[in-house]
Amino acid sequence: MKELIIHKWWISNDMQAFTTIDDKLIKVIEPGKYNLHDGPDFLGTTIEVDGIKLIGNTEIHICEEDYRRHRHIENPHFTNVILHVFCFPASKPILEIPFRIQVSPEIILNDNNNKQNYQFSYDDLLLEGICRLRQIGNQLINDFASNDLIFTLYISLFRAMGLKDNAIPMTMLANKISYKIFYDRYNLNEIKVAYLFASGLYNEINPSIEMISKKYQLLPLSKDIWMHKGIRPNAYPIIRIPKAVECFYYLVNEADFFHKLIINGCDFWFKKLNKILTIENKKIILANCILPLRIWYAERYGLMNLMEHIINEGSKYDAENNKLIEKACQDLNLDIKSLNLIQAQGVLSLIKKGMIRSDFGKNMIT
């Protein structure tokens, strides 16, 4: 894919200084001529390093690993590449290139936004979507528990399963019961009833639930906090709560689940939930829980080679059904059916920033 937004940003950065990924200071004298043919993206880039001017070519990618994946190392057209610019570094650096610059997507996007550039390509939306998912991940960690990622996963999953109308009550419910209940010797039905009892929506209690209630000191929430009005029956909390319990139950009972989820993605888990979750449900969990936490983990522990896998996982799903996104796409003359899940998150980000004028913006849940 063409990283057009980074190309536009790069053209405007002549006479700018950058620090390479190995802490060398370079000054861009001339970004080079934009190459529309085979070979590097920019030809004749002039840089200055330690007072010495060097001329060569520049290649640009979103992920550094694309340089290797696209077999540029073996391509004679790329022999004179002296500079590689990217957003996400590879776990195995490409040392054949003398200078490597990592640039935050936020810097690129903010620079373009400041220029009042309101024509957004699919690549623009992809980068904007990655930034939004990163922000969601950081917010989840800050709001819940940065020292316990499984707890953050647990809370954010329940919140996502609450959908828009019952997100807050579902968060309160999850905070009320330790996720360690899933590691105790209770069967799935017992755990479901315990959560329904704690929600205040279920009054019947049997000896095993009474024991769980005493162990976890459960005091039921007020049933008045739950929203029923104006939502579809399959979104009623008494239905969504058991589904959330079942989702987390099947996750934590998978051998080595955390490694599989963070490193390899959620295909193994979603397949088990095909009878529980709709495609739209899966999209909501991905956008508001799984992808943000995977991005946070990748950046926190330096596993940037995961970024391409994370992007591919999000790109397998179409944009979620959302009136905000649909209206914005009409305004931008974009086909919503052509957007993937991450690009749709980019649309939401632009609405939040005020870059896309939408009457729905005032109703947006951020």
**Would you say 87 and 107 are in contact if contact means Cβ atoms under 8 Å apart?**
no
Q: What pLDDT, on a 0 to 100 scale, did the predictor assign at position 356?
A: 66
113-117, 169-173, 274-278, 338-342: which has the minimum mean pLDDT?
113-117
Nearest to 14 by CA among 40, 35, 45: 45
Residues whose CB falls within 8 Å of the CB of residue 158, separated by 6 or more in sequence, listed in order: 170, 171, 173, 174, 244, 248
pLDDT band at 362 (very low <50, low <70, confident <90, very high): very low
pTM of this prediction exceeds 0.85: no
What pLDDT, in 10s, does the model give residues 65-90?
Answer: 889 989 999 998 999 999 999 988 88
Cα 337 to its chain centre, rounded Å, is 20
CB neighbourhood size of 104 (10 A): 12
Amino acid at 113: N
Average pLDDT, the chain: 87
pLDDT at 352 > cutoff 60: yes
Q: What pLDDT, on a 0 to 100 scale, did the predictor assign at position 104?
A: 86
pLDDT band at 366 (very low <50, low <70, confident <90, very high): very low
Bigger pLDDT: 16 or 20? 20
